[in-house]
Structure 1
Amino acid sequence: MKKRTIKLFLFIMFIICVVCLYKVYINYKMIKEIIKQPPIVFSARFKDGDKGTFKYDIQTKKAEKISDYAFQELSYSNDYEKIVGVVWEDRFQGLAELDMKDYTLRSIISLKDLNKCVKEVNLKEIEYDGPGVTQLRMPKYYKDGYTFFWGYYSTVICYIRKEDGKWNIRILNNTDSTGHNYFLKKEQETLFLETEKPFVENKTETGIIIKKTIDKDDEIVLVDGTDENAFIDMPDDMSKIVYYNEPKIYMYNLETDKNDYISSQYLIWQHMLYLKLSSDGRYLFYTVGDIPFFWSDYYRMNFFIVDTKTGNKVNLNRWEKGDRFYGIDW
């Protein structure tokens, strides 16, 4: 009886070892494929006082500083050669971009000049009262200019471009609800917008995603029930929407109207904070923030990557308490 028990124990241990080794091998293969993608970029202020914009190496799990400026709300250009973001510091406030080849900074437009622009479309000016939470949100490259949410509780998406040395401004969308995220398809001037507008009456913790053609009134509800603290993301061809509906991550196909399950992420005293697809749409990077006790600090960030086809997941990093993140893109 004793020998049978020992044999059973050894067999179980053997199975566990095989499963663990297989998991390590799968993760290794997955990382080898992922590193072919452009690097993850983020802006942060770490608890040791180091602040700026960083490039994250998925293989070594190390962050390399590429700018002393913290590019808040940052996003890549379509060719991944530049990033645009908000600089919200005493030395400069406004939109700026960073060249990913030599990491040189170029200011695009200052807050002062932006305030001059928004007067033309009867928007309220933004005042700078020191480094911190910016009221200029989610700048993105669009056509030969830039788009952004104007104001912290944003309902307006603006588009600015320079013509003959002068900035021109246009409002692309103005809703009665705060916008969480947006995506623009320049060929057809199609806008996808995630808002806090409740899909079901008296259910304010969920929002909707709408599709509309700019300058037209048509709106189509595509997905409901996105997590209140999570952003959606879309691949470059904007044929799908990836979103989180606790505890599952889904990929919604706009052409087939089908939801595909990707993976599960259970949250215990946590929030989903960022969702970012890789350039080819194969992998999904997301972050989970540990809610601080009595909100005494910032979220403690956890980095994950999941294969959208196989559902295999890798936990990349768990950052320190006190590290603050201002923006992430991949």
Structure 2
Amino acid sequence: MKRRIIKVFIFLITILCVVCLYKVYINYKMIKEIIKKPPIVFSIRFKDGDKGTFKYNINTGKAEKISDYVFQDLSYSNDYEKVIGVIWEDKFQGLAELDMKQYTFKPIIDLEELNKCAKDIGLDEIKYDMPGVAGIHMPQFYKDGCTFFWENSGDVICYFNKQNDVWKMKVLYKSEHENYSYHIKEENNKDLLFVESRYEIYNQKIEKINIDKNNLETFGEEELLITPRKNFSDSTGNMDVSNDTTMISYYQEPNIYIYDLETRNRKHINNQYLLWQHIVYIKLSSDAKYIFYAVGDIPFFWSDGYRLNFFIVDVKTGNKIRLDKWKKGDMFYGVDW
């Protein structure tokens, strides 16, 4: 009897070892594939006082500083060669870009010039109060200019570019409710604007708006998803759109889904159970084979901001790896992949 128990125990231990080794092998293969893609970039103010914009090495788990400036709400260009972000510091307020080869900083437009443009089209001016608390959000490269949320309510998306060496700004999209995030995808015959919105206190909708390429006027709305969420208080949104506009990744507690825009079907990818936590960022890889997301541990009385945990999920297999858990007090201002 005793020998039998020992045999069973050895068998179970063997099975457990095989499962663990298989998991390690799968994670190894997944990381080897992921490191070929553009790096994860993020802006942060560490608890120890260091701040700036960093790129994250998935293979080593190390972060390398690429700019002393904090590029808030940063996002990649379509070719992943530049990053755009909001700079909100005493020495500069406005929009700037960061070259991802030489890591050179280049101002695009300052707050004073932006306010002149806003005044011309009847928008309220934005004042600078302190570093970090910006009044412009989610800038994105678009055609020969940029788009962004104006002010903090997220109900106005603006587009600006230079015309005859003069900056011009216009309202690209306006709603009567708060929006969390937006994504503009350029195509040959039309451009698509995806907006994640809140119409009621706990209800969000993801919409698709067709935009004419010539005059950028809104021609109609199509409701894609209704994704009710509770305790969703962060302004970074909870969805992303693939570069080819065929799928949306989003989180609906406790599941991570891919929504196919062609078949109108959704696919369950993996689970992420939350206990006093929020999903703070969710990003598709450049080829839409992987989903990056960050889970934020909500601090007591919001004293230190989110403590983030990085994860990546394989869209095809659902396999998930945890990349890093950052320290309590590290303040993130933007992440893109």
TM-score, length of structure 1 as denominator length: 0.96
Structure 2 CA distance for aligned equivalents of residues 304 and 257 of structure 1: 26
2:209 matched to 1:212? yes
The equivalent of 1:264 in structure 2 is 271
The equivalent of 1:328 in structure 2 is 335
Structure 2 CA distance for aligned equivalents of residues 13 and 186 of structure 1: 53
The equivalent of 1:131 in structure 2 is 131
The equivalent of 1:115 in structure 2 is 115
Cα contact 2:304–2:331 (8 A) shared by 1: no
1:110-140 CA distances to partner (integer Å, 9 max, x unpaired)? 0010000011111111000011221100000
Question: What letter corresponds to residue 167 of structure 1 in structure 2?
Answer: W
The equivalent of 1:175 in structure 2 is 175
Aligned residues: 325
Question: What letter corresponds to residue 207 of structure 2 in structure 1?
Answer: I
Give the 3-state SS of the residue equivalent to 1:152 in structure 2: coil
Question: What letter corresponds to residue 259 of structure 1 in structure 2?
Answer: R
Structure 1 CA distance for aligned equivalents of residues 95 and 224 of structure 2: 31
Structure 2 CA distance for aligned equivalents of residues 236 and 72 of structure 1: 22
Cα contact 2:181–2:195 (8 A) shared by 1: yes
Deviation, 1:78, is 0.5
Residue from 260, 278, 283 that aligns with 2:290: 283
The equivalent of 1:234 in structure 2 is 241
1:281-304 CA distances to partner (integer Å, 9 max, x unpaired)? 001110000011222221100000
Question: What letter corresponds to residue 206 of structure 2 in structure 1?
Answer: I
1:60-83 CA distances to partner (integer Å, 9 max, x unpaired)? 000000000000000000010000
The equivalent of 1:51 in structure 2 is 51
The equivalent of 2:303 in structure 1 is 296
Percent of aligned pairs with the same amino acid: 58
Q: Which runs of 5+ in 2 are unaligned?
A: 212-216
The equivalent of 1:153 in structure 2 is 153
Cα contact 2:42–2:332 (8 A) shared by 1: yes
The equivalent of 1:245 in structure 2 is 252
Give the 3-state SS of the residue equivalent to 1:7 in structure 2: helix
Give the 3-state SS of the residue equivalent to 1:233 in structure 2: strand
Cα contact 1:179–1:193 (8 A) shared by 2: yes
Deviation, 1:217, is 4.6
2:196 matched to 1:194? yes
From the superposition, tell whether residues 226 and 34 of structure 1 become closer, same or farther in structure 2 (CA, over 3 Å): farther
Cα contact 1:226–1:244 (8 A) shared by 2: no
The equivalent of 2:15 in structure 1 is 15
What's the RMSD between the two structures over aligned residues?
1.1
Deviation, 1:184, is 1.5
Q: Which runs of 5+ in 1 are unaligned?
A: 199-203
Deviation, 1:226, is 5.2
